[in-house]
Structure 1
Amino acid sequence: MENNKNYEIGYGKPPKNTRFTKGRSGNPAGRKKKVIPETLFQAISLELCQQKTITNASGLKEKVPLYSILAKKLVQDAIQNDGPSRKFLLQSNNLFKCNFNDIVKSIIERQNSVEPEFTEDERNRLVQRLHEMYDKLLSEEQQE
């Protein structure tokens, strides 16, 4: 009992009896669900679309997509006589035809697309069933 009397209540010090309520999570919103890629191509595209914070030559921090960092590094390695990088750049015609903006847009659209939970027919049946239940409740209340 003496401990409770000496305990100061204030900012960051809630009363001990209300500190941890039962049935209430410490993180009610929870963690965001991770996007699970369907194909290897989509997994690589998702990774390349992520941004990394780097410090540029003037000392400013900027966010740069990983695919641009990868492209710069590949070209730098090819210039510095790295055989595999140079060979890859010379042999990959599809790489230069690839439009990264379209890939990014398609990934974003796929992530943001929301599939309907119910079809139109199912939704209509549910609404009709709810109306029937509501009418039944109203008639029961009127009889009482």
Structure 2
Amino acid sequence: MNPSPQMPPIMLVEDNPMDLDLTLRAFSKKRFGNNILVARDGEEALAFLARWENGDPVPAVILLDINMPKVSGLEVLRQLKSHERFRRIPVVMLTSSREDRDLKAAYDLGVNSYIEKPVSFSKFMEVADHIELYWCVLNERPY
């Protein structure tokens, strides 16, 4: 299935090339109908705010890693959730961090979900299924 222009994109913010490839392969194998926007660090992720202000499609959900160079995922989350127009975009922390302080900080900043990255491809396929079904199909968007 080719991405549909009517379906909102999914944004993936991931600096690890192996995790990025794994995620994109899982989405490709599942044949999501959503375009995938990719930011390879927090600075690139924040640059999307200006693009959305200028009319680029706003994502249905943002999958955000915590530990990234330049700008951390928690800082991206803080800026996104403090933005008047884009604070309602659902954000899922998809991270390898099992630190309790990261989990608490993410929820304190308004994250919608916190998922530890699966290690195996088959487990990641299950996570991809759940992400698409819930955030892209079932979830009602306020915009």
TM-score scaled by length of structure 1: 0.24
Q: Return the structure number with greater strand share.
A: 2
Structure with greater helix percent = 1
| Alignment TM-score, normalising by the size of structure 2 | 0.24
Q: Name the larger-Rg structure.
A: 1
Report which structure shows greater RCO (CA 8 Å, sep ≥6): 2
